[in-house]
Amino acid sequence: MPHLTRVKSRLSIHAHRKVRGLLEGEYAAIHVGRGIDFNDLREYVRGDDVKDIDWKASARSRTLLVKRYVAERKHTVVLAVSTGRTMAAMNDARVAKRDLAVFVAGVVGYLATRHGDLVALVHGDAHRQHARPPGNGELHLERLLGVVHDAIRPSGPPSDLAAVLDYVSRAIRRRTILVVVSDETHVSEPVAASLRRLTAQHEVLFLTIGDLDPTVPGTGHDEPGGRPALRRLVDVDAGDEVPDWLRGDVLLQQEYAALVASEESQLRRRLEQLGVVHERVHDTDSAISAVFRLLERHRHARRR
């Protein structure tokens, strides 16, 4: 289980136990309805709903304990991943967007699996979309991640998030937690329409992955990780090379950075208008905290 192992090792390295539990608490809090059958008590972690604290038990044990219930029914987390060819590009000099997409999907899926929820997958591009039925267990999740990983190819069709979202709204009837993983730079009108429709039915969490800055010059030597240094850049959409002489120009870097920043803020604002919580994943190191912030913001957004 290479994909999930990576997720788990990352979680245990970067987030020690407390933070990991914290993430789980955050995840648990995204459920609207919790079951009524009492299961057991566990130690409070930040993020747990205060309403769940068992004050009497806490007083007895001198630690904060929260009640855990057996969920009334299992929730379904749908990972909607845009697997067009733009996902096959690089996120930064070391990490491919594909790996990052698989990773964040894996983090969310792992949390859901740990919580006993079902995980389903919808992925696709402009040409075709696929769905994997909900399932539980780490093996299932691993398979889903493998599907995502294999679906992303540089020679694949272009990305089309609206098509994927439309497919979700057609294929999934139940209320789910919809985690959208895409690399959109702006919210197009079809995407906005789809999101508007989907937010009525699902809890929509939106994760976007950034792009490699083509104006930054290659380092010229091999990275310590053994990956080759960036030498030539090929636009995955157009198929032609991003010329070398564009890289390293300070003014262009500034203009590009300003463009990316403005696009990101526009995207954020647009998604806020649509009532969709959004988080940008910059790299593997910050991916876990990005997921955490996403869950946190979702909880607050709902409370409002």
Partner 1 sequence: MGVSWVPGESELRWPWLVVALGVLVAVLLLVWLRVWWRRPPRSAAYVAHATRLRRLPRYRALVRRRALLGGLGSAAALVACAGAILLGGRLQQAQTLERDDVARDIMLCLDASGSTAPWNVDVVQELRDIVEDLEGERIGLTVWNNAAITKFPLTDDYEFVLEQLEQAELAFSGWTDYLATEEYYAYTAGTFVSEFDRQSSLVGDGLVSCVQRFDRPDEDRGRALVLATDGEQRGRGVFSIEEAGAYADDQGVVVHTIANPGEPAEDGDLDELRAAARATGGTYALLGSDGTAEEVVDSIDDLRAARIERPPLRQVVDRNGPGTVVAGIGVGLLLVGWAVEWLVAARGRRPGR
Binding site for partner 1 (CB under 8 A): 85-90, 97, 154, 183, 185, 211-212, 214-215, 217, 228, 230-243, 245-246, 248-252, 255-256, 259-260, 263
State the CB neighbour count (10 A cutoff) for residue 230. 19
**Cβ 79 to partner 1, closest distance in Å?**
20
Rg (CA), the chain: 20
Q: How far is the CB of 269 from partner 1 (least distance, A)?
A: 18
* Short-list 293, 294, 264, CA closest to 276: 294
Nearer to partner 1 by Cβ, of 225 and 303: the residue is 225
Cβ–Cβ under 8 Å, residues 197 and 190: no
* Residue 231, phi then psi, degrees to nearest 5: -115, -60
- Closest distance to partner 1 from the beta carbon of 4 (Å): 25
Residue whose CB is less far from partner 1, 76 or 86: 86
Residue whose CB is less far from partner 1, 8 or 282: 282
**Shorter beta-carbon distance to partner 1: residue 2 or 243:** 243
Instruction: Tell me the closest approach of the beta carbon of residue 3 to partner 1, in angstroms.
Output: 20
Nearer Cβ to partner 1 (186/196): 186
Cα–Cα–Cα angle for 259, 262, 266, rounded to 5 degrees: 135
Around 303, how many Cα atoms within 13 Å sit in the side-chain half-sphere?
9
Q: At its nearest, how many Å lie between partner 1 and the CB of residue 277?
A: 23
State the Cα–Cα distance between residues 32 and 181, nearest whole angstrom: 22
